[in-house]
Structure 1
């Protein structure tokens, strides 16, 4: 082969850029509204309306479809088609380099000079970028090792140094394949050369128990479909039990769930009023609304609407009644939602068009919805962004591993692949490549010290880990009666035993989870989904806990009244003032508190009363030392923190302990929000000492207290004055 082609190929990879187009669709909304049915219909899959099953966790379908940039058509594709599309991207890059050389009037080798491979060769069998010996090593040694636990994989990563001599020949074969396609020898090559957007869909379960893991996967680089049931009023109760804060069990209204999802989406926004990410309102079950309904008052959907068609006998009486057609009913429904959100910052995310879908027929509005999704995606700032061309090669290796059924790999293996590439990604750029793949939903990668050495190739894998525990009741009761009580304990109190994990993650049921149990638990720990509690013996020495975890998202017991409404101590003789983390926009996702609680459980032992651990839905009491206890409590959009000292004489809590608590919780909250990529903000306040219990309407901003010697409190019938020094002395060093 002419070496000039080799050099042009390398130059295209080293210096070239490619525009990438990605559409990531997040299908969200309340429980049992038809999200999965909508997802399948958008992808052109068959749907049996009579056999609906609720999604558990998240159903992730990455690169399941491509969208023509020219026509907007959605085209489903298989694994081979996606690999060929990547080859086309390489062809496009190389072709642009050839054209550039031609325009510069430099001599470009002819087709005859390049000894082009026969056109009869199957275009789908693209030459791989690794040498023959490297591929053999991967297939025969590395691949089998990846079915072993992650900890044992690193030992199998050495590549045979003798294979280096074969690399150049293999690279020539790959370049010749690309040249053949550029020269038009293949009639299978799509002449648009990859002018497509990659589309993936994430179908989120509506059950509240899964929201803790949901938040890990939300991103601003996505289009959200907020799916609602048109046959329900927005004040209707959802048939799903929620455990949010100290109130314990409750059933949420549809509008509360709308609020929750809109706020979760808003918390991902890079800018409060940017409208990013975009949200499209989609109503389902249009078929359950008659074409005409009778109403004399044209009520809003939150009122009772009579969907009964007028009978013949009453036709004359109803002639004066207003006939509301389906589209008018839908307009009122969506109008009420927009009215409900009109004074909230989340309103900026709604796009200008709503969609009502009929679940029983081939609905033309599905086509319109697809078109709208592409239109909205094309308006996003990341649409058509440029990335280094050399990333394509390593992306192909990641996809090859994923297609082989590999779920997780050490980063060192990816680095070995990278070293063997024709144009490797520079070491300092590799982290950026992984971040990009994580952002578009291709992989799961956390660039933090304890997790950055592992790459999860299949995001669904991590989702299935927690889902398998939450939904294991049927399996446990039928096949593992010995651990049924362990599951009941987990379901009620969030206590997750290793015995239960082993009974569920068996080799037969979940081989990947079984083989990589340690790594999964480590991931779940560092995502603060579960925590390893601290325990101490009677002599004060710490007991190492290896067989038990706590999952705060599973806590269901309501916080006792004695904790929610403690004995008043307005003089703060035995208790500190109440430090409050007040979240802006009056929104605090419960998963944020769950993660905080998990971190606190790993820091301090849980206090006991009559041998019972004091941990409840939305609240936990920790033992700081022999005389001090810490209460951490969540109500609505505020986290309350208070330290109490117990002794025979009235003694105020240690300010040193209080300051340590404040610094730890403040830093932990900031880290949790930062790691999730959220824009949530909070302010620190102090609750008025005369308040009865924990209230969201009695908070004095820290800025007011630090800027004044005293502050009038107007939260009660009688105004009283609070000395700033009295309430700040526990949490801040005196200047």
Structure 2
């Protein structure tokens, strides 16, 4: 050791150490990169080196290191066992990997979530929040097993009827089923007991406290098939669920959907066939929930052919039905992977659904739905069930006082931080709605169904329009342009509050609340009007434009004829920038428009005293420039122009606008359960349909 250069080692009290941390890092990095040549060398290194060294220097293969950071990437070169080395890396770090910086590599999440049964959403939290999660977990954990099924499909396909039959409802109840409005949430309506699907009483108001450990529960979301409701559907499509796509076998795939069943007029879904709706749902599931990284579980998709009675079905046998579904996809598409014999079920009435029930038991019993959560969070499951029917919204600070006492939480601030982390988890799990952001952080919506209903009432399909007292002019303006006047909004929600008021009076003759005093009762929509609107805007469902609101999914207005000519005749304009998606969820455009309406310094362009907001185009003005956003079946397009002739576009300004649009797109797609990529390119002037790809976001 005496022969080593002085600048590498130093001696203090007979103890030799490196002269600095930088020198230590250089020596260790050189050792690893120069000496660990063979695969076996790396394996021995991981097995023998200290845990602290692994934590300090080792990273997963997809980790993006910071500038100047030196790290060792754990790669998997052997095809016969591609995950073995990374599994060793996980085992050496143990649960500490949850708070490790390598979790910024999303491709590592699946392995870690599976290994420790930690909710995958928590791995996407920032490092500080993940460190807090570990602290909570070390104080005690509890296993929850909660499967969730999403029933989707075209309007009138029989989705609600299927659910009623699974619940064992009477023939009379099934015959009286009406079309689902919006989205119906049926929390924990089944339990798996002794290998059987057992329907539970759907009355959570009086549900007694019970331990959650080990109980396998199953919930269902019943998605309304009317296209007017699709705006809120996109929010709840999640990888945390399996899917049942219901297809009406009494209809041919090429047959256009009856407007009596689904009013498509003026919408982007106008003229759609049953086959196009089927492809839409399969694409939606694949886009939001498909495999993103190697090791991710493939989404479970069951296809149920309803109305399979011989006298009504349009298909000779099961094989011809599945062949017809397969033909709906392009030859080069991989979506046909979801149409396989083992996942297709053919339903007749009143034949029992034994095969489907057995499959649901198998799916719901899978360990993929098991998660380990901090024990101090588990009480909140019971809190939700017991309070959501009485208090639709709770104050977060008040809720923090109910969290179980813990010596590590010394003050109110600690409890509040823990409560917000807990709410973030339950929000990701779809149990509550909570955003820890300025203006929203003080309240949590306990009853998700109530919130969905509030928006559903706003976008009421004409087929379901009843009892709303408003002028025909107000309604027609709203239905055609999406502009909702304050008075009409109040009237819509007051109508629903009136219905609730009557129900409460019928249930309790001593109920003293009088009409017009709803603001004093926490169960009424108008009591929480401002919060509801803020959260709807946060989710991109509407934009607040006092004294009115803009609901983009209700806009059926075509672009005025003079606007394209105005843009084409303008000399100071940019090329058309295209953001192309393999599958574009149409409502992403709506969310983009709502976000742009909130941009500081951006204003909706006005033409003839009318906002330039159309069903597939939106125009804005900012800093003297006009911005055009449009949407097609597979792309969002951006063009910038200015009305003043003789001035060239300033590159700095145009790039700032482009960066802002791309920033908003990334923010929106970042909220999905799966990253959605897009290709950026320019439209060639000589060929409208051609694009020049630039790069991938």
Normalised TM-score (structure 1) = 0.65
Superposition deviation, residue 65 in structure 1: 2.1
Q: CA deviation at 1:502?
A: 1.4
User: CA offsets per residue over residues 569-605 of structure 1, 9 Å max, x none?
Assistant: 7xx942111111111x2x1111100011112223332
1:551 is the counterpart of 2:674 = no
Deviation by residue 1:224-269 (Cα, 9 ceiling, x = unmatched): 1000101111122112344798xx5622112221222122212322
Equivalent residue in structure 1 for 2:490, among 487, 490, 502: 502
Q: 1 CA distance for matches of 2:436 and 2:672?
A: 12
- Residue pair 1:476, 1:504 contacting (<8 A) in 2 also: no
Q: Is the 8 A contact 2:151 2:244 kept in 1?
A: yes
Structure 1 Cα separation of the partners of residues 147 and 292 of structure 2: 22
> What SS is found at the alignment partner of 2:271?
strand
Q: Distance in 2 between matches of 1:429 and 1:244?
A: 48
Give the match for residue 598 of structure 1: 594
Provide structure 2 residue ranges, at least 5 long, that are not aligned to the other structure: 1-135, 501-517, 519-523
**Kindly tell me: are residues 204 and 42 of structure 1, through their superposed partners in 2, closer, same or farther at Cα, counting changes over 3 Å?**
same
The CA deviation string for residues 18-50 of structure 1, in whole angstroms up to 9 with x for no partner, is: 322111111101111111111111112235454
1:230 aligns with 2:249: yes
Aligned to 1:65: 190
Indicate conservation of the 8 Å contact 1:269/1:679, yes or no: no
Aligned counterpart, 1:31: 155
- Residue 516 of structure 1 and its aligned partner are, at CA, apart by 0.6
CA drift of 1:195 comes to 4.3
- Partner deviation per Cα, 1:414-439 (whole Å, 9 max, x = no partner): 21111558998976554443233234
Does the 8 Å CA contact 1:444/1:459 hold for their aligned counterparts?
A: yes
CA contact (8 A) 1:14 1:390 kept: no
2:652 to 635, 649, 656: 656
Residues 144-178 of structure 1 show CA distances to partners (whole Å, capped at 9, x for unaligned) of xxxxxxxxxxxxxxxxxxxxxxxxxxxxxxxxxxx
The runs of 5 or more residues in structure 1 that have no matched partner are 1-11, 90-193, 292-300, 306-323, 534-545, 705-735
For 1:194-593, list aligned pairs within 5 A.
Answer: 195-239=214-258, 240-242=262-264, 250-269=270-289, 271-272=291-292, 274=296, 276-287=298-309, 289=311, 324=316, 329-341=317-329, 343-349=332-338, 353-361=342-350, 363-364=351-352, 366-379=353-366, 381=368, 383-402=369-388, 404-418=389-403, 429-471=418-460, 480-481=469-470, 483-506=471-494, 507-509=497-499, 512-533=524-545, 546-560=546-560, 563=563, 573-583=571-581, 585=582, 587-593=583-589
* CA deviation profile, 1:51-97 (whole Å, cap 9, x unmatched): 341111111111222112x413323235579955x5344xxxxxxxx
Counterpart of 1:103 in structure 2 is none
3-state DSSP class of the match of 1:286? Answer: coil
Question: Superposition pairs for residues 39-54 of structure 1, below 5 Å?
Answer: 39-48=163-172, 50-54=175-179
CA distance in 1, matches of 2:434, 2:175: 39
Is the contact made by 2:185 and 2:222 (CA closer than 8 Å) also made in structure 1?
A: yes
Distance 1:447 1:220, change over 3 A: farther
The structure-2 alpha-carbon separation of the partners of 1:428 and 1:523, relative to structure 1 and needing over 3 Å to count, comes to: closer
Query: Which position in structure 2 is the counterpart of 1:717?
Result: none
Q: 1:98 corresponds to which residue?
A: none
Q: Who wins on radius of gyration, i.e. which is larger?
A: 1
C-alpha distance after superposition, 1:331-362 (max 9, x if no partner): 2112322343464344445565244444531x
Shift of residue 503, structure 1, vs aligned partner: 1.5
Cα displacement (A) at 1:494:
0.3
Deviation at 1:391, TM superposition (A): 2.5
Q: Secondary structure at the match of 2:257?
A: strand
Q: Per the alignment, in what secondary structure is the counterpart of residue 588 of structure 1? A: coil
Aligned partner of residue 229 in structure 2, secondary structure? helix
Superposed displacement of residue 479, structure 1: 5.7
Task: Classify 1:505/1:434 alpha carbon distance in 2 versus 1 (closer, same or farther; 3 Å).
Answer: same
Q: Is 1:614 aligned with 2:612?
A: yes
Aligned residue for 2:628, secondary structure, equals strand
Q: Is the 8 A contact 2:574 2:640 kept in 1?
A: yes
Judge conservation of contact 1:397–1:417 (CA < 8 Å) in 2. no
Cα-to-partner distance string for 1:168-220 (whole Å, 9 max, x where unaligned)? xxxxxxxxxxxxxxxxxxxxxxxxxx643111111101111111111112211
Separation (CA, whole Å) in 2 of partners of 1:452 and 1:657: 34
1:243–1:555 Cα contact (<8 Å) kept: no
**Aligned residue in 2 for 1:138:** none
TM-score, length-normalised on structure 2?
0.69
Residue in 2 that maps onto 1:700: 692
* Structure 2 Cα separation of the partners of residues 469 and 487 of structure 1: 11
Residue 333 of structure 1 aligns to a residue in which SS?
helix
Bigger CA drift: 410-419 or 263-272? Answer: 263-272
Aligned residue-pair number? 525
Q: Once superposed, what is the RMSD of the aligned Cα atoms?
A: 3.2
Structure-1 residue corresponding to 2:97: none
Partners of 1:690 and 1:671 in 2: CA distance: 33
Change (3 A) 1:650 1:523: same
Distance 1:289 1:656, change over 3 A: farther
How far residue 631 of structure 1 moved from its aligned partner, in angstroms, is 1.1
